């Protein structure tokens, strides 16, 4: 019998998150206060986040225990399964061994609940009654709605208006879990009202939705703000993925030569590769390749500048040292909504600068071609974001076919595409197009960087 | 640590299907040829089905080995997980222990692939190149498309036109897996053309779609027909669910007092309870209660007549002894599309007559109320069909709260509701209504039964 799945019992689920900060060969550049130019302090962040999360953002501890209440909810869907893609390997006629860790069996359908549950827990624990957040197409908003339902927290989600109107199903998911979801710009905040006064038909943007959620949280005593990617504590929570994968690769008597994942803000893929990059840093597996895959339409890591920039479009957040296309950058409306972000998790950018991870941009049509191949072999219809990682996985497997090498590839599969069928229809009917971001437009967007403050 | 999940390794997956036929206290009434009134023979069915499946339909063997090729594909998502619903129990404040076996992690999102994969295999093995089938809202069509993709079989799905137009996402799933899906009535069959000539705007019906698929299969040498429920071999394939559940209940040191599931054609729930009903027949658990839950809008088992009737609306199939609302019965357009069938699996009806299982009808609004409670406690957004079973599970758990009894309830959870969010929106916005089928309309439909032929 060929082994198809590597399944951990819930008793074998990791009980700590792995924190890369103490293992970095060079320390991460500090987050800066936009006014003073000084590194932000925990107190600076206290109006928006609970102290439990803020301390994780800066923690020097290698392992941070997962609270039992969080573990208990993780266990409703975790550990997730590591699959061996026998059928895909056969279809590609490759000597490569392809494994994929599938996060699509969470109740919200992706990796996002790994951090949503943790964030809801720490807010609840510190007496917060209500959370405000933003969402684009709805992956993050629905995951946070799931988590808030389980902890009995109120949730208000500012959803980009164009998605609110065109993609109602993720909104209905949020409402089913009890969240209040409004189209952004909304009349509920000053930022929203100002925009509506200027342009009543404004379709909204993620940047504006962030501004509304941050304002909501900053102006209400009972409310905090929550972010679904980019920050250190978000990546930390996602390391449950990579730690499980390590145990499961051991069950398979294998260790990856190549790890592949898609990056938007970077939390899913970092969650997978951070426990492995530790092995690379320590010399256990110096030739391990870690491939970050992004869309050519939003080429943050491959074409962006490594500089200090705001995390949001409105310029309200602290300054992060990261690869950025400029916080005013508006990516084209490709189907991988989760990969349309102007910046990138500072941890990933730092590892990229240190030469520990690499980056690759792939065009949209080729990602759906890969996704359909995956659906017709492994059966899973994947999220458009994930299709980027599948594209690079297939490309690496085909290289193995040419070279005759039997490399072991580990794919971080972030979730299913059940709410993205319109994108598949567009591909299948030949209407999908590619979009390569022009060099000049990148330069133009980068001209508006805030510049590095003097520390 | 509270145990939340009971997980079988793929090596522990059952390797046989369980066939109830030899264990029935009285033999199942025969299927009759509508022309001669004689029991149908395997040869009568050969134009539509491969002999491998036909022999299973009549088999006297208690266990039928699952072919290795089928097991290999089952292992891409099976064994499925048995969950303990701690959070639901707590919310209901019940002493009942609630377990649920969740089939929603299959690639198509329900139990349907359990038989789709088996049916595709036997057709492929006997040299068939192409399958024709019908689908209503698309659960069955998409599961069969998944299975045909994995076996390299062509598939043509006749999809009821009103669903084809209103619910495009399951159609796109089918196309992603490579199936050809057309709206029914179609110009591709005589049955379709006749209807289009009479009424070019005909919205279609499941009965007509069956007629088109059967005609397609009967008139092409390379093509067979495939059905997603009702028949013995379909129920047989689903017994993988109940056999896994038995092992998992043992892991939990428990045995159900009550098993609950929803019934449309009956295959999902029978797949769960048949291995347990054997224990009841043999006296190991004589007081085991097995509750079949159906909608009040389509009350086949609670209000229908136990009589010979056609399986399809057009009257083309052999005659089955079953509870029926009359093959001309057109159920109202409730959201649980999978429960809108005029008949019921003969095995379930026979067990009902023998007093081994019971039946209950529940109204639509109450099922969604239960589904939302489940979503906000266990996290899973369930299919509208499954919500019927969840309703009855909650009702039984609340009875335990009143009586103080700590009964063990096992819920057959057939799948997720990711393609049914419009139904949740209708419920959440207060627009959902109940529909109790009036006694007189049932009588009217039953007046058109074909009558029992003389055997």
pLDDT digits (tens, 9 = 90+) for A325-334: 988 777 777 8
* CB-based contact B269:B412 (threshold 8 Å): yes
Q: Token pair of B250, please?
A: 């043992």
Mutation target for B interface from A86, A138, A379, A387: give the one with most B CBs within 10 A: A379
| Chain centre to alpha carbon of residue A83 | 21
* Cβ <8 Å between A375 and B2: no
Q: Name the residue of chain A whose CA is nearest to B423's CA.
A: A172
How close A139 comes to chain B (CA, Å)?
13
* Cβ <8 Å between B87 and A168: no
Structure-model confidence comparison of residues B255 and A342, the more confident one: B255
pLDDT digits (tens, 9 = 90+) for B358-416: 999 999 999 999 999 999 999 999 999 999 999 999 999 999 999 999 999 999 999 99
pLDDT digits (tens, 9 = 90+) for A202-213: 888 887 898 899
Which strands sit side by side in the sheet containing B223-225, from one edge to the other? B180-184, B154-160, B130-135, B223-225
* CB-based contact A240:A17 (threshold 8 Å): yes
Give A68-109+232-446's CATH code, choosing from 3.90.45.10, 3.40.50.1100, 3.20.20.70, 2.130.10.10.
Answer: 3.40.50.1100
Please give the share of chain B, as a percent, with pLDDT higher than 90: 84
* CB-based contact A314:A281 (threshold 8 Å): no
Which helix (H) or strand (E) segment is A381 a member of? Answer: none
pLDDT digits (tens, 9 = 90+) for B58-87: 999 999 999 999 999 999 999 999 999 999
Nearby residues of B189 by Cβ (< 8 Å), 6 or more positions away: B158, B211, B212, B215, B216
Q: In this complex, is the C-beta atom of A168 within 8 Å of any C-beta atom belonging to chain B?
A: yes
Mutation target for A interface from B375, B378, B431: give the one with most A CBs within 10 A: B375
* Cβ <8 Å between A77 and B379: yes
Q: What is the rounded average pLDDT of the residues B235-243? A: 98
pLDDT digits (tens, 9 = 90+) for B178-234: 999 999 999 999 999 999 999 999 888 887 898 899 999 999 999 999 999 999 999
Q: In this complex, is the C-beta atom of B341 within 8 Å of any C-beta atom belonging to chain A?
A: no
* Cβ <8 Å between B419 and A424: no
CA-CA-CA-CA torsion sign (A121, A126, A131, A133): negative
* Cβ <8 Å between B2 and A176: no
Query: Does pTM surpass 0.80?
Result: yes
Which residues of chain A, if any, have pLDDT below 70?
Answer: 452-455
Q: In this complex, is the C-beta atom of A251 within 8 Å of any C-beta atom belonging to chain B?
A: no
Interface of A with B in 416-445 (CB under 8 A): 418-419, 421-422, 424-425, 428
Interface of A with B in 360-379 (CB under 8 A): 372, 375-379
How close A373 comes to chain B (CA, Å)?
9
- Token pair 């999220």: residue: A383
Q: Token pair of A90, please?
A: 């056969």
DSSP per residue over B16-61, as a string? EEE--GGG-SSPPPPPB-TTT-SBP-HHHHTTTS-HHHHHHHH---
Average pLDDT, chain B: 94
* Cβ <8 Å between A169 and B421: yes
Q: Token pair of A102, please?
A: 């599938």
DSSP per residue over A410-422, as a string? EEEE-BB-TT-HH
Which residues in chain A have Cβ-Cβ distances shorter than 8 Å to B378?
Answer: 76, 107
Other CB atoms within a 10 A radius of the CB of residue B296 amount to 20
Question: Band of the pLDDT at B455, cuts 50, 70, 90?
Answer: very low
* CB-based contact A322:A306 (threshold 8 Å): yes
pLDDT digits (tens, 9 = 90+) for B273-284: 999 999 999 999
The size of chain B, in residues, is 455
Phi and psi at residue A122, in whole multiples of 5°?
Answer: -65, -35
Instruction: Pick B146's closest partner by Cβ from A75, A379, A422.
Output: A379
pLDDT digits (tens, 9 = 90+) for B116-163: 999 999 999 999 999 999 998 899 999 999 999 999 999 999 998 988
């Amino acid at each position: 019998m060929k082994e198809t799945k590597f399944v951990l019992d819930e008793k074998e689920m990791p009980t700590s998150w792995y924190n890369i900060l103490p293992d970095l060969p060079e320390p991460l550049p500090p987050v800066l206060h936009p006014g003073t130019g000084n590194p932000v302090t925990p107190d600076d962040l206290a109006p928006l986040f609970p102290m439990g999360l803020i301390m994780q953002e800066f923690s020097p501890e290698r392992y941070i225990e997962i609270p039992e209440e969080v573990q208990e909810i993780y266990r409703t869907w975790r550990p997730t399964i590591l699959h061996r893609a026998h059928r895909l390997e056969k279809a590609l006629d490759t000597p490569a061994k392809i494994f994929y860790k599938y996060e699509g069996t969470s109740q919200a359908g992706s990796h996002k609940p790994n951090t949503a549950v943790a964030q809801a827990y720490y807010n609840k624990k510190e007496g917060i009654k209500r959370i405000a957040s933003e969402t684009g197409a709805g992956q993050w908003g629905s995951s946070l709605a799931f988590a808030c339902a389980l902890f009995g927290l109120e949730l208000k989600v500012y959803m980009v208006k164009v998605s609110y109107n065109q993609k109602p199903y993720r909104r209905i998911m949020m409402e089913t879990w009890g969240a209040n979801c409004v189209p952004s710009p909304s009349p509920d905040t000053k930022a929203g009202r100002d925009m509506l006064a200027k342009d009543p038909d404004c379709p909204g943007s993620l940047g504006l939705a962030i501004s509304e959620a941050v304002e909501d949280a900053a102006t209400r005593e009972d409310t905090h703000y929550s972010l679904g990617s980019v920050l250190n504590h978000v990546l930390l929570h996602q390391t449950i993925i990579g730690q499980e994968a390590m145990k499961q690769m051991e069950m398979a008597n294998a260790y990856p030569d190549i790890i592949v994942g898609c990056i938007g803000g970077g939390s899913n893929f970092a969650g997978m590769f951070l426990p492995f990059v530790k092995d690379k840093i320590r010399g256990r597996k110096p030739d391990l390749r870690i491939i970050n895959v992004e869309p050519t339409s939003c080429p943050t890591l491959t074409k962006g500048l490594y500089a200090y920039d705001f995390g949001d479009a409105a310029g309200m957040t602290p300054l992060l040292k990261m690869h950025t296309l400029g916080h005013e950058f508006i990516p084209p409306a490709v189907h991988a909504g989760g990969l349309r972000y102007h910046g990138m998790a500072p941890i990933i950018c730092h590892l990229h600068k240190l030469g520990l991870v690499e980056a690759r941009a792939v065009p949209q049509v080729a990602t759906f071609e890969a996704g359909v191949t995956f659906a017709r072999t492994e059966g899973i219809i994947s999220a458009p974001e994930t299709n980027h990682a599948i594209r690079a996985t297939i490309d690496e497997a085909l290289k193995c076919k040419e070279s005759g090498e039997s490399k072991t590839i580990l794919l971080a599969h972030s979730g299913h595409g059940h709410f993205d069928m319109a994108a598949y229809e567009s591909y299948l009917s030949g209407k999908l197009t590619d979009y390569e971001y022009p060099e000049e437009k990148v330069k133009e967007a980068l001209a508006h960087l805030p510049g590095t403050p003097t520390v």
